[in-house]
């Protein structure tokens, strides 16, 4: 599976939007983009996934660049509970494995 690059850490003020970037310049046409997050002392939890089009769900939005070489996870209003490590993962069609990197540690400031 292709690699992803994320910033090590980011900060956000509470109740403001957060844009978490992910670069995946070697993405192939059949790679899905998955986002998981891991709150302190918990296992990772699914956030959102997409292939080509932007996606929205109750937790977040996923904006995928037209060339698919980057994507952005958008949290519309950060809360203290959103403080976590966010992982951007690529998984090819037919590949059932999620390969986690180090992710981005998001801190939310009250």
Partner 1 sequence: EAGVVQSPRYKIIEKKQPVAFWCNPISGHNTLYWYLQNLGQGPELLIRYENEEAVDDSQLPKDRFSAERLKGVDSTLKIQPAELGDSAVYLCASSTTPSGRASEQFFGPGTRLTVL
Distance, C-alpha 9 to centroid of its chain: 13
CA distance 63 to 43: 25
> What is the pattern of x (binds partner 1, CB under 8 A) and - over residues 18-57?
--------------x-x-x----xxxxxx--x--------
CA distance 106 to 83: 5
CA distances, 99 to each of 10, 11, 80, 85, 96 (Å): 22, 25, 27, 15, 10
Binds partner 1 (CB under 8 A): choice among 29, 40, 94, 110 = 94
81 binds partner 1 (CB under 8 A): no
Q: Which is nearer to partner 1, 2 or 13 (CB)?
A: 2
Binds partner 1 (CB under 8 A): choice among 91, 104, 106, 108 = 91
**Interface positions with partner 1 (CB under 8 A):** 32, 34, 36, 41-46, 49, 85, 87, 91, 93-103
């Amino acid at each position: 599976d292709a690699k992803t690059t994320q910033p090590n850490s980011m900060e956000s003020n509470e109740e403001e939007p957060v844009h978490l970037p992910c670069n995946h310049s070697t993405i192939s046409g059949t790679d899905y983009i998955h986002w998981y997050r891991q709150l302190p002392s918990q296992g990772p939890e699914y956030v959102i996934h997409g292939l080509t089009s932007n996606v929205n769900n109750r937790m977040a939005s996923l904006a995928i660049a037209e060339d698919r070489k980057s994507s952005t996870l958008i949290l519309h209003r950060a809360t203290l509970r959103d403080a976590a490590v966010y992982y951007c993962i690529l998984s090819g069609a037919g590949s059932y494995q999620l390969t986690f990197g180090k992710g981005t540690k998001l801190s939310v400031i009250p």
